[in-house]
Amino acid sequence: DQQSAWRDFSSSEVYAADLESALHYLLRVELATHSTLQGEELQVFKDFVTLVSKLYPGGGSVVKLMETLSDWLLSLPLPRIPYQAVLDLVDNKMRISGVFLGAELRWVGCQGSRAGLRGYPCSLWTLFHVLTVQHDATPTALDNTGLEGGAAPVLQVMRRYVRTFFGCEECGRHFERAAAASLEGVQNREQQVLWLWNQHNTVNDRLAGSLSDDPLFPKAPWPSPSLCASCHDEKNGVHEWNQDNVLLFLRKHYGASNISPRYSL
Ligand code: FAD
């Protein structure tokens, strides 16, 4: 039970254990509700796996597993793939090659004060923030993947993933509406990082005080002044974000060198 193993953590760090748990949950729980993948679903899944294999920082066993999965998916001429085949591949690869994705969920920065709070949705946000920042840091990483065309490839994959697979359907609808309204305006990698930050704050704002709000982690505009003082300005007594400094902060916070291996396997 989650209560028995509270993990000490710092809110100024990002934890590899949360990112690994996000992928574990996504591959073994979320996807399992689709017994076969075909058509748009299969394409969205392929693109998601490609994106993670190219942009997940550190080049460790997560990347190896996602590369293997990606190569396998791209080599299959099948119009539909049973979910069980995906699961078999993930299990076999992990057993044979020692390539590893945690065998259990291990939330750290995303642990909740009780079961049902935080966890997976928190880690999915975290994963995509990391991917937008990594795309900004390694502009050519998506070359020759078919994803390099548009100005906001990470957000486009996220949009389609969330719409197609995310277990919270209400979340998917909200996110789709936001993307349809303003994703077109995103013209470069910096704006891609900032769009996701801003959208996440819009969701925080909407959810503050709601049932999904963990009392230990109340929803609030992020980053707080204590995390990033220079992100906050005031003009005529009104709060304003300093977007240049927010961008610098996001690059640092979600950058590869701020991802802690603590609690990771
Ligand atoms: P989260 O909001 O999950 O944030 C995780 C961590 O990200 C925080 O702890 C903080 O370190 C960091 N963070 C916070 N804000 C920002 C920011 N602006 N930029 C960068 N990093 C930040 N729930 C609903 O009830 N209704 C919805 O419509 C809904 N839509 C969602 C849409 C998406 C795409 C996702 C991934 C989740 C959605 N959720 C929705 C879930 C909700 O947003 C939270 O993920 C969930 O309530 C858990 O909250 P949390 O306290 O762990 O913090």
| pLDDT exceeds 70 at position 153 | yes
Quote ipTM for the complex.
Answer: 0.99
Q: What is the pLDDT of residues 64-112, one digit of tens each?
A: 999 999 999 999 888 999 999 999 988 887 777 766 677 789 999 999 9
Ligand 1 pocket: which of 108, 154, 157, 203 to mutate (most atoms <8 Å of CB)? Answer: 203
Total domain count for the chain? 1
Tens-place pLDDT, residues 169-202: 999 999 999 999 999 999 999 999 999 999 999 9
Q: Is residue 3 part of a domain?
A: no
Domain housing 224: 10-260
The CA distance from 171 to 40, in Å, is 19
CA nearest 56: which of 199, 157, 149?
A: 157
Nearest to 26 by CA among 91, 120, 102: 120
Assess if residue 5 is contained within a domain. Answer: no
Q: Which CATH number goes with the domain that contains 249?
A: 1.20.120.310
> How far does residue 219's CA lie from ligand 1's centre (Å)?
8
In this structure, the residues whose C-beta lies within 6 A of any atom of ligand 1 are 11, 110, 118, 121-122, 124-126, 129, 162, 168, 170-171, 174-175, 197, 200-201, 203-204, 207, 212, 214, 217, 222
**Is residue 7 within 8 Å of 108, Cβ to Cβ?**
yes
Around Cβ 114, how many Cβ atoms within 10 Å? 12
Task: Please report, as a single letter, which amino acid is at residue 13.
Answer: E
